[in-house]
Structure 1
Amino acid sequence: MPEGHSLHRLARGLHRTFAGDVVASSSPQGRFDSGAQILTGRVLEEAEAYGKHLFVSFEGGEVVHVHLGLYGTMQKAKSPAPEPRGAVRWRLESPTWYADLRGPTACDLVGPLGREAIVARLGPDPLRADAEPERAKARILGSRATVGTLLMDQAVLSGVGNIYRAELLYRHGVSPFLEGRLLRPAVLDAMWADLVLLMNDGVRRGRIVTLDPGDMDAMAELDADRPAADDPELDGGEDSPQIRRLRRSTGVYVYRRQGRACLRCGVPVAAQDVQGRRLYWCPGCQRLPGQRRPRPKRSTT
């Protein structure tokens, strides 16, 4: 599922491309036909993201809510638009651009009140200027749930997904199994500030990079060998296209690096399924209070 930076990048691109234009709106697939008919011929006023949700506002107060889910995509290109192929839920067209939405979990006409109701269920979004981090801080510090679980709860913190969760906890040496109420407030403040920087960097790059600049060369050297291939989230063996892409684009400390030596302490990165998602952490750098440090991974050279 796309993380928050992807939705903000999408929203900014749509806003730059269509805001202020009269747009044609259609639903080639038919599942958004009634909404598209209401919107066609109206001015698109704004596209914005809140966490993993996209809101597109039109003149007259109409608002479309989009949630991409696991498989949704929305891509734009120069006009003229070709004949729709496949299940295009929603097509936007201006005189110079078009955009096709495919496979979303949600694409609904909700209006301003509907937008407010959706946002009211969400925690603060680190990428928004109107974010209120104190709301997330209060929820986390008052909870007996683990920090790893809380960071993925969109009602606590909006826009954070599996990659940012793993990397943020690693960067601050926090065990994902630590109860929220036991996290030091100063550490949580530092994590929020770091998340704001990391996610904004993700918007600019179009991908997630969490390695500090000084660790880039060291990680490249560490990755000179073959990456682990027993990750259930990766299809194929060690020579699969996914593995090769992963090897070329390494920019993270622990995500999908299970069994490989931690860059900082040498202990093998661990992975475990938690509430249906794969959790990654370093047992050496991210220990619970009182836990003994595991032995580093022995070199095979």
Structure 2
Amino acid sequence: MPEGHTIHRAALDQRPMLADQRLKILSPQGRFAEGAARIDGQTCTGIEAFGKHLVYRFEGGDALHVHLGLFGMFRAAKLPARAPKGAVRVRMISRTHVVDINGPNTCEVLDGAGLAALTGRIGPDVLRKDADPDKAWTRISRSRSSIGLLLMDQSVIAGIGNIYRSEILWRQGIDPELPGNRIPPEAFDRIWTDAVHLLGIGVNANTIITVDGVKKSKSRYGERVNIFAKEICPACASAIKAFEIGGRRAFACGRCQTSA
């Protein structure tokens, strides 16, 4: 599933393609025909990321809400538009570009109240300037759940996914199984600051880079990580422990991550 940097990068890339333009909205697949007809021909007034959610605002007050889930993707290209590739749920056409959305987990048109309800249940997004880290800290400091589980709860902190969770906690020397209510405030500050830093790098590089002072790799996705899916800790050469937290793979070094 795309982590928050991917959605913020999509918003950044698509704004000059779609924003402040009257859009032709289609559903080549047919599954979103009613929603497409509702916003077809309206001007897109803005594109915003809220954690892993992308929101396209329209002049009539409606918003297109997209959550890619595990298999969704964006495809963007300059006009003239080619035939849709695969099951395209939504096609948006501006004066210059076409943006296709394939296979999203969620694709819906929301009115103002619906959008407010959506954003109200999303935790503070580490990449948004209006994020309030105190809201996340309040939830974490009162919870008996592990910090590893809480960081993946998008109602607590938005944008952090599976890779960033393992990487941030390793970088800060924090045991992912430590309960939230045992995390000192200064440790939470380090987590938040590092999340802002690393996801910001992810937006700029358009990939996950958590190793200091390196550029993207030549692999397919260009990722550069310290311990995620690795066997040996780069700091102490101990074996990396792989386990599950909340049904997702987690990685930690038992020597480097002993407390908060």
Aligned residues: 259
Q: Residue type of the partner of 1:5?
A: H
Q: Residue type of the partner of 1:116?
A: A
Give the equivalent residue in structure 1 for 2:18.
18
Aligned 1:206-245 pairs, distance under 5 A:
206-213=206-213, 216=214, 245=219
Tell me which of 238, 245, 250 is aligned to 1:279.
250
1:143 aligns with 2:143: yes
1:270 aligns with 2:241: yes
Structure 2 CA distance, aligned partners of 1:100 and 1:142?
42
Instruction: Compute the RMSD of aligned alpha carbons.
Output: 1.8
Aligned to 1:16, what secondary structure does the other structure show? helix
Consecutive unaligned residues in structure 2, runs of 5 or more: none
TM-score (norm 1): 0.83
Structure 1 CA distance, aligned partners of 2:96 and 2:123?
37
Tell me which of 213, 222, 228 is aligned to 1:255.
228
Q: Residue type of the partner of 1:270?
A: K
Structure 2 CA distance, aligned partners of 1:281 and 1:83?
45
Give the equivalent residue in structure 2 for 1:89.
89
Aligned 1:91-170 pairs, distance under 5 A:
91-170=91-170
1:57 aligns with 2:30: no
Question: Post-superposition shift, 1:245?
Answer: 3.2
Q: Residue type of the partner of 2:105?
A: T
Structure 2 CA distance, aligned partners of 1:39 and 1:140?
39
- The Cα offsets for residues 193-239 of structure 1, whole Å up to 9 and x where unpaired, read as 111111111100001111122xx59xx9xxxxxxxxxxxxxxxxxxx
Structure 2 CA distance, aligned partners of 1:66 and 1:93?
17
1:71 aligns with 2:71: yes
Give the equivalent residue in structure 2 for 1:30.
30
Question: Post-superposition shift, 1:86?
Answer: 2.2
Extract structure 1 runs of 4+ deviating beyond 4 A. Answer: none
Aligned to 1:108, what secondary structure does the other structure show? strand
Give the equivalent residue in structure 1 for 2:205.
205
- The Cα offsets for residues 140-164 of structure 1, whole Å up to 9 and x where unpaired, read as 1111111101100111111110011
- The Cα offsets for residues 93-113 of structure 1, whole Å up to 9 and x where unpaired, read as 012100110000111001221
Contact 1:64 1:111 in 2 (8 A): no
Cα pair distance change 1:87/1:145, threshold 3 Å: same
TM-score (norm 2): 0.95
Consecutive unaligned residues in structure 1, runs of 5 or more: 221-243, 290-301
After alignment, is 173-182 or 260-269 more displaced? 260-269
Contact 1:269 1:283 in 2 (8 A): yes
